[in-house]
Chain A
Amino acid sequence: MHIPDGYLSPSTCAALYGGILASWYLCLRRLKRVLLTRVVPLISVFAAFAFVVMMFNIPLPGGTTGHALGVTIATIVLGPWGGVLATSLAIALQALLFGDGGITTLGANCFNMAVIGSAVAYGCYRLLASQAPVGSRRRIVAAGVAGYLAANASALAAAIELGIQPALFHDSAGAPLYAPYPLKIAIPAMMIGHLTLAGMAEAIISAGLVAYLQVADPALLRQTSGLGGRDLGSTGSLRRLWATVALLLVLTPLGILATGKAWAEWSASDFTTSNTRAQITASSGNQTPPPVAPSGLQRMASVWTSPFPSYAPAFVRSAALGYLLSAMFGVGICVFIALLAQERLRARPRLEQDS
């Protein structure tokens, strides 16, 4: 999953460096606010640990071995902010010290494994473990699933970055200048190995380490347990999150400013309209679309009719108001499902005592 130099175009690398620099800045700020002094040795030593764990050959079912990323356990113990920093440091050391992964692609590798890996690992672990006691078996399963999904999400991000290269960067004769395979080849090629070996290695090491910590040092699991321990960098308040959600809701009408159709979001009628056909041709490497929509697309398009087509309920005349209402409706549904899930999980009896 470590993308070497030469596989991604400089503009892709620059965009992902931008993303990772913003993430590092945010992480350092969040961590400094809570633990000004202790955080430096903790993150450093944990990065060294993650680096060494990446060299472990994890035995997998079927007689092979695989390497773990270490991002899931770093996130579970240090929280998402600390997890991003520790994993990024380990990846930077691999690139700068051992030449594993590139210098121009360091931002992409850190973004895929540290940011996406950590976010997916944290989200899955918190969602699946919910309010379960620190010593419960459910936390082991949650860590395993989080590890599996984090490794695969990171791999998928890398596959997408590699897969968009041939469409965006090719010479006048059409030969790709960087990674040569389109998404339809890059994604399966990358995901087969991760859905089987790498994801399983991360799942085994994450679940195994959580099981070990439940016995040896349960206090380390409290940081991200949601049972009163504070995450490194967490302010413990949801107010800021709600303020951000509200701001994003207000800004949703900005979507109207975007012209044209997003690639591969065409409707069946777009294939017959000259204006949209020209857009599809331009955005698909000058490949002309078929004269009519493919039969499968036409058939499937009529299966479900959205209540708010194009983010605008039929009774609303203003597009901006339609966007805002759609956003509020979407957020409302998400919050409702989350509250429902929380109630369901709370209602379940806890068989194991919190250690």
Chain B
Amino acid sequence: MKSSNFAGATLNSLTRALSHALISEETARRRGLMQALDPRVRVLGILALVIAVALAHKIAVVLALFVIAIVLARASSISIRTLSVRVWLVALAFTGIIALPAVFLTPGQPVFPNSSVTLQGLCTAAMLVSRVEAAVTLTTVLVLSTPWTEILKALRALHVPKEAVMMLGMAHRYIFLLAETATQMFESRQSRTVGVIEGRQQRKLAARTAGVLMSKSIDLSQEVFLAMQSRGYRGEVHIAEHSGIHTRDWAALGSFIAIAVIAIRAGW
């Protein structure tokens, strides 16, 4: 990417991140299998399946878990198009580039006579790509079917410290504010720019924009602190707890764990 358009590129990054977050919130509100389950079950269930993907030593087991991830996504109103554009193509491009040389570089039995392509290399590349695709699809199903606030409550239920959960929640809230502020700063700069700015000036501009954003962040943290104090915050963190888990959730959790255990046993 040419640096002459660094402001435009940054604007694209910021807009893409904001739109991804909005799509996630919108998908999480739809009716679907995952959305109907308790968030704690969703987090634990997906975690169990991701661990099973990581532990599997056989490609057939990893592919089976990949199919389960796709079924879960479809049952949760997540379209194949969303998965392919947002997950599969990106993961394939990134991991494919990394995995491809392994086909030639991994020592082992040649597939064809006088060929540097080895059977072990092919297996390694296929395993890596399918493992990454399966794990990323499962994670995306969780992210797209669960609002951020529900993920945080689930983390709290899993005994993640209150302070950490609270900081994650606050950081998430202010990301959007700061991202929007940064977007406005870059847009305003672009609208005033005529011609091409030389590289050194561009670097100064990027650093100054980040500096102003940091000053605003620090001011914001002071305001948030005062607002918290005015509401009675004295260092004790209180987070709303979840209500009880229904029979349906227990059944779903049991299914997730059973699939994970079977996959681990079959894939070892």
Contact = CB atoms under 8 A, between A and B. Distances in A.
A binds B: yes
A34 to B, nearest CB: 12
Contacts of A59: 3, 6, 199, 202-203, 206
A85 interface: yes
Given A28-B161, A45-B174, A46-B221, A61 B199 contact: yes
B225 A175 contact: no
Contacts of B217: 45-46, 48-49
B9 interface: yes
Interface stretch (B31-39, B125-133, B243-251): B125-133
Interface residue range, chain A: 35 or more
A63 B3 contact: yes
A114 interface: no
Contacts of A103: 46-47, 50, 135, 139
Contacts of A49: 178, 213-214, 217
B57 interface: yes
Interface string A55-88: 1111111011100000001000100000001000
Given A5-B139, A208-B206, A217-B218, A55 B211 contact: no
A7 B91 CA distance: 12
B168 A10 contact: no
Nearest to A204: B203
Interface string B102-146: 100111110000000001110111011001101110011001000
B24 interface: yes
B10 A55 contact: yes
A171 B57 contact: yes
Contact of A89 (B168, B215, B237): B168
Contact of B17 (A13, A63, A65, A98): A98
Contacts of A24: 164
Contacts, number: 265
Question: Chain B at the A interface: mostly helix, strand, loop or mixed?
Answer: helix
Given A51-B171, A52-B178, A175-B127, A41 B224 contact: yes
Contacts of A102: 50, 135-136, 139
Interface stretch (A122-130, A149-157, A176-184): A176-184
Contact of A37 (B123, B172, B234): B234
Given A37-B233, A56-B206, A85-B167, A93 B99 contact: no
Contacts of B211: 208-209, 212-213, 216
Interface string A287-311: 0000000000000000000000000
B53 interface: yes
B155 to A, nearest CB: 9
Nearest to B15: A55
A281 to B, nearest CB: 17
B203 A180 contact: no
A173 B3 CA distance: 47
A97 B127 contact: no
A75 to B, nearest CB: 13
A4 B57 contact: no
Contacts of A181: 101-102, 105
Contacts of A37: 225, 228-229, 233-235
Ordered nearest first, which 5 A-B pairs have the shortest CB separation? A208-B207, A212-B211, A5-B135, A44-B170, A59-B3
9 contacts: A6-B136, A59-B203, A65-B2, A173-B108, A175-B106, A180-B106, A180-B121, A205-B206, A205-B210
Given A181-B102, A213-B214, 7 more contacts: A10-B55, A41-B222, A45-B170, A56-B13, A89-B171, A175-B127, A176-B106
